[in-house]
Amino acid sequence: MGRKPPPTGSWGLIRTELVGHDERRKPKRHRARAYYRDFDGLTRLVEASGRSASQASQNVRAKLQNRTMAGRHGELTAMTRFADAADLWLTKVDGMVAEGRRSPGTVETYRRQLKNHVLPALGEVRLGGGHHTAGRQGGRRDQRRRQRRDGKELPQRDLGCDEPPRPVRRRVEQPGS
């Protein structure tokens, strides 16, 4: 099992490396990198450079802090419930109808689908509260099934022999037999 991702808006260890030398082989530029977990849940690499390792580290730390503050000033936060985000989205779609970019029937369809199907299942879920996987199964087995269904070549494990592995079929015992 993999390790848990860091909390949103946080970063890991800042690493520095030498990027270039001058003509006398003295260090010229340093680059600092760190992984940052953005507010959309994705982990991204943030990097900055400087004349010294400490300056590069300070520059990347400033970028990370700016990125963290920028993510907190939006209308939606990790603690916002999905129902509130849906209301905000519907307000924007209503504005598009007023501008003539969407049909009134479109917004009514969206509103009905949200009310009848989406909000009963996800309305109280917080946006930053982990991943909601209702109706979706993940994992290696399902990934292999999808690949098989799509006709993709599946990687074979090396079992130390020349012949390909044979499929294993499980026998299901019938009751009363």
Tens digit of each residue's pLDDT (9 = 90 or more) over 123-172: 888 877 655 444 445 556 666 666 666 666 555 554 455 565 566 666 66
SS3 75: coil
Distance in angstroms (rounded) separating the CA atoms of residues 148 and 133: 22
What pTM was computed for the model? 0.43
Task: Give the DSSP letter of residue 48.
Answer: E
Of the candidates 71, 118, 70, the one whose C-alpha atom is nearest the C-alpha of residue 90 is: 118
Write down the residue that tokens 């917080």 correspond to. Answer: 126
pLDDT tens for each residue of 68-125: 877 666 677 777 888 988 998 999 999 999 999 999 999 999 999 999 999 999 888 8
Distance in angstroms (rounded) separating the CA atoms of residues 4 and 1: 9
Write down the residue that tokens 């990125």 correspond to. Answer: 67
pLDDT the model gives residue 15: 96
Per the CB < 8 A criterion, the answer to whether 147 and 155 are in contact is: no
> What average pLDDT does range 5-29 have in this prediction?
86
